[in-house]
Amino acid sequence: MAFYYDEPSRTFNEYLLIPRYSGTDCIPGDVDLTTPLVKYDLNAGDGPALHLNIPMTSAVMQAVSDDRMAVALAKEGGLSFIYGSQSIQDQAAMVARVKDHKAGFVRSDSNIRPDATLADILRLREDSGHSTVAVTADGTAQGKLVGIVTSRDYRVSRMDTTTPVADFMTPLENLVYGRDGISLSEANDLIWDHKLNALPIVDTDGKLTHFVFRKDYDSHKAHPDELLDARKRFLVGAGINTRDYAERVPALVDAGVDVLCIDSSEGFTEWQRATINWIRQNYGDTVKVGAGNVVDADGFEFLARAGADFVKIGIGGGSICITREQKGIGRGQASAVIEVAAARDRYAAETGIYVPLCSDGGIVYDYHMTLALAMGADWLMLGRYFARFDESPSPRMNYNGSYVKEYWGEGSARARNWQRYDSGGEAKLSFEEGVDSYVPYAGSLKENVATSLAKVRSTMANCGVKSIAELQRDAKLTLVSATSIVEGGAHDVILRNESRGVR
């Protein structure tokens, strides 16, 4: 007879945290959000080889995690897993760009040819939100620099939109620029000495390599939680699959990747154990690799004993995931995290090895993040959350009068990432397990992450804890009824504005 769980499958929305005593030393500013990224020996005393400064990672998705997102999130203390549903060469190149990124030196993402028009400039500014545009001979970020355009170079009310860019740009001969190899300190001196907002950097062939912006001087000082390796480079992860790992993993390792994640909708499979075994046989423990996704104790136990450096929890809980609709498998994210966390703790007591858990999916409101951590997750993987920001790969667009960004699932016809849903059959996506959608545009990653984590820290202080480990140990949680969920929001009033912090 089939096994039946006694309890229904529950979501984060069905729980609340109960406040506990908070002393005068337990304030949000004292809350430490560092958390282990990979497994470690509890008895060794030296902790994990890799950790996160904030418990947030961006999902292994085309619409979320490219090199630009990876740099932006690493500045805040989190980590991106570069999506693997692309060629090995392209993924490795993204990883290499993150590892080669020089703090303060930004690759231009607003570029145009000199024969383009003012109308093209206005469209580019609308899409990117940036007012500084590099004018290069071929319109690429690495093309030969011929000038720049800023908002001071044109007035829409007094110019025809067909005016060529070459007619109103500031040409190279009138620009102050730096040569490739200049230090950040020297670049900032030029910016301040010449009262510039942006300093282009060119190589010996006159090709654009980077920009240094005045606004980034203070911004760099404002990133105390940057996630860096021993050589002061940003940490970056990458997704792999269970098909081409023998070719993909070496390329990613050569590019400098710090941690890998087997990206699969269902991880309780021999394919994942074979992938981990191959990595261990060829690299030992020097290459860190996580696995998943699972939703119960048996799945965790299997992957932990297979050698996974972390285990990812969640099937069907993502906002663009329709696996539960299509296949009838999955579990409410809260129930999954609670059971897997209990299995993790039993495994740690038995073996002395602590295997961190990643909660992937099911986050709708910011407070769900704190709930997931309290239930036992060490860190979160977020897709929709990060897809809304300037730094995600898709352009900002106007849809029915509101700004949105495109967001599509890896199981959608658009992504066609059949390897993520591979069950050992034909090399194709037999049916969709994800949708193609829009998400409301939310602005910059830095500001939104700061707001979300302020809520997490405040809640933890209310619970009388100052670390994630203390939260997992001391949290008190309660189930809530349908009527108390209604009671918990604004009710019996006429709202003057509908913006209530929905994530």
- DSSP H or E segment with residue 237: strand 237-240
d(CA 81, CA 70): 8
In angstroms, rounded to a whole number, what is the distance separating the alpha carbons of residues 369 and 55? Answer: 9
Kindly name the residue from 97, 248, 261, 321 that is annotated as catalytic: 321
Residue 478 CA to residue 500 CA, distance in Å, equals: 23
Assess contact for 81 and 239: CB atoms under 8 A.
yes
Q: Which of 68, 248, 331, 420 is catalytic?
A: 420
- Helix axes of 245-255 and 270-283: crossing angle, nearest 10 degrees: 50
358 a catalytic residue: no
Q: Which amino acid is at 59?
A: A
Cα–Cα distance for residue pair 129/398, rounded to 1 Å: 12
Radius of gyration of the chain (CA): 24
Amino acid at 183: S
What element of type H or E holds 370? helix 366-374
Contact 225, 146 (CB under 8 A): no
List Cα–Cα distances, 110 to 59, 124, 127, in angstroms. 25, 7, 9
**CA–CA distance from 136 to each of 63, 106, 171, 326, 399 (Å)?**
27, 16, 11, 48, 31
Element (H, E) at 170: strand 170-171
Question: Is 420 marked active-site?
Answer: yes
In our burial notation (b when 16+ CB lie closer than 10 A, e otherwise), range 470-498 reads bbbeebeeeeeeeeeeeeeeeeeeeeeee
Backbone angles phi, psi at 372, to 5 degrees: -60, -40
Q: What is the token pair recorded at 44? A: 């060794």
Spatial separation of the C-alpha atoms in residues 114 and 390, rounded to whole Å? 26
Is 36 strand, coil or helix? Answer: strand
Give the closest residue to 303 by CA, choosing from 253, 263, 355. 355
Q: Judge whether 199 and 51 are in contact, CB under 8 Å.
A: no
Annotated catalytic residues are 321, 420
